[in-house]
Chains A and B, each alone.
Chain A
Amino acid sequence: MDYFLTDKQKMIKNLARRIAEEKIKPKRAELDEKEEFPWELMDILAKSDLFGLIIPTEYGGFGGGCFENCLAVEELGRACIGVATTFAASGLGAYPILFYGTEEQKRKYLPEIASGRKLAAFALTESSAGSDAAGIQTQATSSGDVYILNGTKQWITNGGEAEVYSVIAMTDRTRGARGASAFIVEKGDPGFSFGRKEKKMGIRCSSTRELIFDNCRIPKDRIIGREGMGFIIAMKTFDEARPGIGALSVGLAQGALDEAVRFAKERVQFGKPIISFQAIQHMLADMATLTEAARALVYAVARYIDTRPRDFSKVSAMAKLFPSDVAMKVTTDAVQILGGHGYMRDYPVEKMMRDAKILQIYEGTNQIQRNIIGQALNKEYGKKF
């Protein structure tokens, strides 16, 4: 399919593809097995300036939009969702600063994130506040010229490895969701430490860790936007980032389809390659159709977002929901097509199936995506009729 990419976009896709093929693919099984953080690969991505993709040129980036980011993470995801998530999470951590930071904050943090010298992370979730993000307990108390943070964030991607953290905490509990604010916390700030590193089903090379704030003192000028804007900032960040999860999903589905077709052509049973059986062909046909449909949706939404529309929560949720469900189905079917081989770690599809599951969970579960779409429909049709 030709999606009419510009020369620049083709170049981004090709570069990411090459890194995925030559550098990530040969390492992915070992990183998964050892649960080892992919620093070496982050370094390669940094030297290629891919971390700067979404950062404006005035802050040392490449000035790409949501679509360019999607093209890159799709290719990385085709090789390894663990590595691609690590890469994408840094962008997630950068968005709050990019969208709501002061000029000084942007100058201080964005060039370092763009160059890949520093990884970023985004921290919202807590043990008792997952989907119900408004239930967060982490407190930021204003005291003279500092804020004092107390509380624990859970399951934070790039936790412990990142240098820059965008953290959502309550500044005024009495105001509920309007009482949250966003802050920049740096690794090394007094009272900021890391807790347990999780053992996971998939994306095992990525770091998922607790952030512990114990009377963590940060200067007043670390607040992003104003007090009370925390959830607006978080939601805007997710709206921008969700098609990226969709793109990771498309990449993963494509990677699984590639493996399944290749295997089906080679595996001989009953004297014929199994791809000659209609049952297999039909599975592959559905996998290919779903993957292409998911890609078309992600590209369309990402391009729409880059026109800077006012409200795009609904379509952004669609661009995460559908592709991640597709990735789950396609990777599961790829394992089925490979049969017993697919279940073994010697072949990449069992990892792909384990990795796929997270795409339906993080950055808002797919139930929550459906809630967002449903609520938007309710609102839209309320207006019209």
Chain B
Amino acid sequence: MEIVVCAKQVPDTESFIKVGPDGKSIDTTGIKWVLNFFDESGVEEALRIKEKVGGTITVLSVGPQRTVEALRQGMAMGADKSILVDDPTAEGSDPAGIAKILAAVIKGIPHDIIFCGFRTTDDESSQVGLMLAEQLGIPHLPPAIKLEISGDQKAVKVESGVEGGMLTLEAPLPAVITVGRGLNEPRMASLPGIMKAKKKPIDTKKLADLGIDPATVGAAAAKVKIQNMTLPPERKAGQIIEGASVQEKAAKLAQLFKEEVKIL
């Protein structure tokens, strides 16, 4: 089974986020970069499939040189190799641009299953997986929380949560599967795993290697543009309502709701 895990390097959710001077991006100084949680979960699922039926796992990412660390993280868990598309022209791509680049890489390599995190913990667009499937002309399965490969290894069945219930879907392979929350708990890399990962191959590609017209991706081609970025407003200090009796406090509270919060 040839498994491709699309992975993005994102700021650690514990990082202290500041908006950069341009007001449209985050200030990356001092940011700790990690592998996006759902992509890590994708690597885990790929490993479980490989442990059962054998195969090769490739971690694929579009990003600057620092992304190598995220790829090594995936390989330390047990993935076999990585491909990194590192090209300044690709920077600032919107989800459609990223999907186009990923599709160009995947078309050139064997693939039975492609995992994408159903969202990243930074931009949260939840689009790349769907667009990638469209670009490749293969099925896309929604955020999977359970997954099973058929006995003949020709199809995949997933369970996905819908409001108040569960959806069971099946598709022939190859297919793109987006990884939902709770599909698995990603393993910790082991010490020897981390050591080995240092020697596993990372194939670095430019857009030209993929035959992609630079005018069709990157910031210039993005159909969705970030206009402005602001931090959520700081929470105001709480207010304690004083009063001699419960009735008096309740009356004051009701008044506040009416006049200041304006929800009554």
B191 in contact with A62 (CB, 8 Å): yes
Specify which chain A residues have a CB less than 8 angstroms from the CB of B194 in the assembled complex: 11, 15
Which of A11, A12, A47 sits near B187, CB closer than 8 Å? A47
Q: Which residues of A contact B187 (CB under 8 A)?
A: 47
Chain B residue contacts of A23, Cβ below 8 A: 188
For residue B230, CB closer than 8 A to chain A, the reply is no
Residues of A1-60 at the interface with B, using a CB-CB cut-off of 8 Å, are 8, 11-12, 15, 18-19, 23, 44, 47-50, 52-53
1/0 contact string of B178-212 vs chain A (CB within 8 Å)? 00000000011111111100000000000000000
Q: How far is the CA of A18 from the CA of B191 in the complex (A)?
A: 13
Q: Do A44 and B188 touch (CB < 8 A)?
A: yes
Give chain B's interface secondary structure class: helix
Question: How many contacting A-B pairs (Cβ < 8 A)?
Answer: 29
**How far is it, in angstroms, between the C-alpha of A12 and the C-alpha of B193 when the chains are bound?**
12
Cβ-defined contact, A62 with B188, below 8 A: no
CB distance from A53 to the nearest CB of B (A): 7
Q: Is B190's CB under 8 angstroms from A47's CB?
A: yes
Q: Is the CB of B191 within 8 A of A53?
A: yes
Number of interface residues of B (CB under 8 A): 9
Closest to B188 in A: A48
Evaluate contact between A12 and B188: CB separation under 8 angstroms: no
CB distance from B93 to the nearest CB of A (A): 30
The CB with the most chain B CB atoms within 10 A, among A12, A15, A23, is that of: A15
User: Which residue on A lies nearest to B198, using beta carbons?
Assistant: A7
Q: Using Cβ atoms and an 8 Å threshold, which residues of chain A touch B191?
A: 11-12, 15, 48-50, 52-53, 62
Residues of A within 8 A of B192 (CB): 49, 62
Within 8 Å by CB of B188, from A19, A52, A53, lies: A19
Question: Given the complex of chains A and B, what is the CA–CA distance between A374 and B43 in angstroms?
Answer: 55
Q: Which residue of A lies closest to B14 (CB)?
A: A21
**With A and B bound together, what is the CA distance between A53 and B190 in angstroms?**
11
Residues of B within 8 A of A48 (CB): 188-191
Inter-chain CA distance A18–B77, complex, in Å, is 14
Nearest residue, chain B, Cβ from A72: B191
Smallest distance from the beta carbon of A22 to chain B beta carbons, Å? 8
**Cβ contacts under 8 Å, A12 to chain B:** 191
In the complex, residue of chain B having the shortest beta-carbon distance to the beta carbon of A46: B190
Q: A48 vs B186: C-alpha distance in the bound complex, in angstroms?
A: 12
Task: State the CA gap A361–B54 with chains docked (Å).
Answer: 51
Chain B residues near A44 (CB-CB < 8 A): 188
- By a CB distance below 8 angstroms, the chain B residues around A15 are 188-189, 191, 194
Query: Which residues from chain B contact A18 at a C-beta distance below 8 Å?
Result: 188
How far does the Cβ of B199 sit from chain A's closest Cβ, in whole Å? 13
Within 8 A of B (CB), among A197-254: none
**Which residues from chain A contact B188 at a C-beta distance below 8 Å?**
15, 18-19, 23, 44, 47-48
- 22 residue pairs bridging A and B, Cβ less than 8 Å apart: A8-B195, A11-B191, A11-B194, A15-B188, A15-B189, A15-B191, A18-B188, A19-B188, A23-B188, A44-B188, A47-B190, A48-B188, A48-B189, A48-B190, A48-B191, A49-B191, A49-B192, A49-B193, A50-B191, A52-B191, A62-B191, A62-B192
Known: A48-B189, A49-B190, A53-B191. 7 other contacts (CB 8 A): A11-B195, A15-B188, A15-B189, A23-B188, A49-B192, A50-B191, A62-B191
